[in-house]
Amino acid sequence: MPKTIVIQPVTRIEGHAKITIRLDDAGEVETARVNVIELRGFERFCIGRPVEDMPRITPRICGVCPWSHHLAAAKATDAVFGVTPPPAGRKLRELANSIAYMEEHILHFYFLAGADFLLGPDADYSVRNVIGILQAAPEIATRVVKVRHACARMLEILAGKAIHPQAAVPGGFSKPLLPEERDRLRPMADEALELAKFTMAFAKENVFAKYLDVVKSLGVITTGFLGTVADDGALNLYDGKLRLMAPDGTYEDFTYDNYTDFIAEHVEPWSYVKFPYAKKWGAFSMDLDKPNGIYRANTLARINVCDHIPTPLAQAELLEFRSAFGRPAQLTLLYHWARLIELLFNAENAVRLLADDEITSTETRVKVTPRAARGVGCVEAPRGTLIHDYTTDENGLLTNVNLIVGTTHNSAPINMSVTQAAKSLIHKGKYDQGVLNRVEMAMRAYDPCLSCATHALNGKLAVRLDIFDSEGKLLDSLAN
Amino acid sequence: MHDAFLPDFCRKPTLILGCGNTLFGDDGFGCELVDYLERNYPIPETVCLLDVGTGVRKLLFTLCLSPARPERLLVLDALDVDRAPGEILEINPAEIPSIKLDDFSLHQIPTSNLLRELETHCGVEVRVLACQSGPLPGEVRPGLSAAVRAALPSSAAWVAREYFNNGLTPSGGTVERRESSPA
């Protein structure tokens, strides 16, 4: 009798989601789908508002990566007003972006995905969590906490507040960085860099090497990739051009405002979330044997699409990574490895920006004047390319708004990786908690943040697994 | 711990957090109350008052792991506890409805949440001032309902009396204290 397995919500990802696995009569996986609930009405709510409000409003969408929304919105308003921030304004924004990245990547590696690796995917659920990590590796945890403190403190000094920021404004940055403030920030950035270096070395020796077999088999799919690069092809998380790389490694570059020429949005009847795909590659298909139009965003994508990384330590790691896994690397769990290369890059980048005397210039913004225009702002959010697309009338009031959030780019690949994982791990109807956690691991590799797309207050804390027969009768229920 | 690295929310004796999403009607009560307090009361140096909106989880997570923490934590939030919209009450963290738990956890702690962790294992006095919300909109719609907005002055007066200790004698501000449910 066919069964349906439901994992809801997925633990240790941001936001809420539900994985539904349907088994056929033989107990083999028929389908695996990841469902989320979309935040509705945001674009419509924005219509008629002054465009300069957007950098203040959009961080409210999501408490997980408010800086990304804040900066994408600021860049879109720059474009609408037709202005370019002064160098110091741009550098302050980029510095804030790098600090926010470090905070996120540290959280993910050590405390969200970390439990899977540091404690093992088959560890009992009661210890496979942040408290378990603290007990297993207290010295590392203390060091990590210190840098998370430093990141929060740096954002406080830089922008006045770390959560729901308002410092980036149309035309630049509202608050110049004082020389004495820079002096306070520099040792914190140095400390973050030391942790990033330690983390990379620690992960290569103790985590990735240990779980290479899992990395090579779990959630593996073949797709294209999307990310941002500078004009010279260097990795850039704040600004540049978009690069869409096909599975064979060929690519096209395009400016933000041309994204609709390259990306279309597919709709599935079983999900509220859009499925962006590369429209020039043909019809959308998530068939594991013959996918089409599918690309991925987020860390692995950015590491794949860039030609090089403009900081020395991260560049050395990129070369080692490519030597081992090629370009483009396709193994899904390599997202974790790529995330640590980015952590290193951001730490180096923060140190570099703080060493730049221009960052303390008092000229941090330019004046803006309302006009009728379209502006597209884009940053690489920790979880993928974030696009804000605004159109205004002659008074600067919004007439159209479209957002594509980072995780949305990965809608199709997440579904494919979860399907692949489920098909390889569940046979003849047999499964246990370890197997199900590995299915979740395939999804967690993408570090999906579903908060942008969800406002469901009905999520429960624990993972629950329900098994239904084909008539909807509950056969079994497992809970953590 | 290098003290210069500590964010304000770890270093001050009292931490007051306004939680919720201002884009969804009454869910923004906690944030609006922080704004009201900032506009109408002098905030003592010993108090860190923050509108953390939808970002409370990351902050609490850092706080749980931190060797330096406030002595007292007050959470301001909208909850649905079967009261009349706008009704204010203090609830025990253990009584937070399960549907709200995810707002306070990062899904790491299977049988508890970060607030309870702070109270039970970290020695922080945790209190929650809740306002019964009206129906939350299904789509983005900012702004408090009239009933919840009317609760802001008395709620602020209660916070000032309990936490600011500045000699103010505001009118109103009576808050029911619910007894903890049996474990």
Burial class (CB in 10 A: 0-12, 13-18, 19+), B129: buried
Distance from CA of B1 to the nearest CA of A (A): 7
The residue among A312, A330, A348 that closes a domain is A330
The per-residue pLDDT for range A153-212, each reduced to its tens digit, is: 999 999 987 788 899 999 999 999 999 999 999 999 999 999 999 999 988 988 888 778
In a domain? residue A132? no
ipTM comes to 0.77
Has residue A461 been placed in a domain? yes
3-class secondary structure for chain A?
A: CCEEEEEECCCCCECCCEEEEEECCCCCEEEEEEECCCCCCHHHHHCCCEHHHHHHHHHHHCCCCHHHHHHHHHHHHHHHHCCCCCHHHHHHHHHHHHHHHHHHHHHHHHHHCHHHHHCCCCCCCCCCCHHHHHHHCHHHHHHHHHHHHHHHHHHHHHHCCCCCCCCEECCEECCCCCHHHHHHHHHHHHHHHHHHHHHHHHHHHHHHCCCHHHHHHCCCCCCEEEEEECCCCEECCCCCEEEEECCCCCEEEECHHHHHHHEEEECCCCCCCCEEEEHHHCCCECCCCCCECCEECCHHHHHHHCCECCCHHHHHHHHHHHHHHCCCCCCCCHHHHHHHHHHHHHHHHHHHHHCCHHHHCCCCECCCCCCCEEEEEEEEECCEEEEEEEEECCCCEEEEEEEECHHHHCHHHHHHHHHHHHHHHCECCECCHHHHHHHHHHHHCCCCECHHHCCCCCCCCCCEEEEEECCCCEEEEEEC
Q: Does B3 touch chain A (CB under 8 A)?
A: no
Contact call for B6 and A149, based on CB within 8 A: yes
Per-residue pLDDT band for B64 (boundaries 50, 70, 90) equals confident
A455: in domain = yes
Considering only alpha carbons, which residue of chain A is nearest residue B98?
A460
The residue-averaged pLDDT of A56-63 equals 82
Mean per-residue pLDDT of chain A: 85
Pairwise CA distance, residues B10 & A61, whole Å:
25
Of all residues in chain B, the percent with pLDDT exceeding 90 is 37
Residues A317 and A417 placed together within one structural domain of the fold: no
Residues 115-174 of B with CB under 8 A from A: 117, 136, 138-142
Q: Report the alpha-carbon distance of residue A297 to residue A291 in Å, rounded.
A: 16
B65 vs B87, residue with greater confidence: B87
CB spacing of A41 vs B141 below 8 angstroms: yes
Q: Which of A57, A184, A480 sits opposite B4 (nearest CB)?
A: A184
SS3 of residue B171 by DSSP: coil
Question: Is the Cβ pair B2, A146 closer than 8 Å?
Answer: yes
A319 located within any domain? yes
Domain that holds residue A32: 3-37+410-436+446-479
Give pLDDT tens digits for B146-180. 999 999 999 999 999 999 975 444 444 456 655 43
Query: What is the chain B residue with the closest CA to A113?
Result: B108
How many domains, chain A?
Answer: 2
The domain boundary, picked from A330, A356, A381, lies at A330
| Contact between A187 and B23 using a beta-carbon 8 Å cutoff | no
Are A424 and A326 members of one domain? no
Cβ separation A156–B59 shorter than 8 A: no
Domains and CATH numbers, chain B: 3-21+41-137+145-175 (3.40.50.1450)
d(CA B130, CA A64): 23
- Residues A112-164 pLDDT 10s: 776 666 666 566 655 555 556 666 777 888 888 889 889 999 999 999 877 88
Q: Which two tokens stand for residue A170?
A: 């149309």
Interchain proximity A461–B67, CB inside 8 Å: no
In 3D space, the residue among A480, A444, A417, A405 whose CA is nearest the CA of residue A111 turns out to be: A444
For the cut 60, the answer to whether the pLDDT of residue B1 exceeds it is no
Residue A154 lies in a domain: no
Q: Out of A303-307, A328-332, B127-131, B174-178, give the one with best mean pLDDT.
A: A303-307
Q: Which of A277, A308, A330 is the last residue of a domain?
A: A330
> In the numeric block, which tokens belong to residue A89?
């304004």
Residue A339 lies in a domain: no
Cβ-Cβ pairs closer than 8 A, A with B, add up to 146
Q: Which of B107, B115, B117 to mutate to test the interface with A (most CBs of A within 10 A)?
A: B107
CA distance A239 to A257: 13
A198 belongs to a structural domain: no
Determine, for residues A460 and B98 on separate chains, whether the beta-carbon distance falls below 8 Å: yes
pLDDT number for residue A368: 95
pLDDT digits (tens, 9 = 90+) for A439-470: 777 877 777 765 443 322 232 222 344 444 45
Test mutation, A61, A130, A447, chain B, max B CBs within 10 A: A130
Alpha helix positions (H), B49-181: 56-65, 98-104, 114-121, 146-150, 152-159
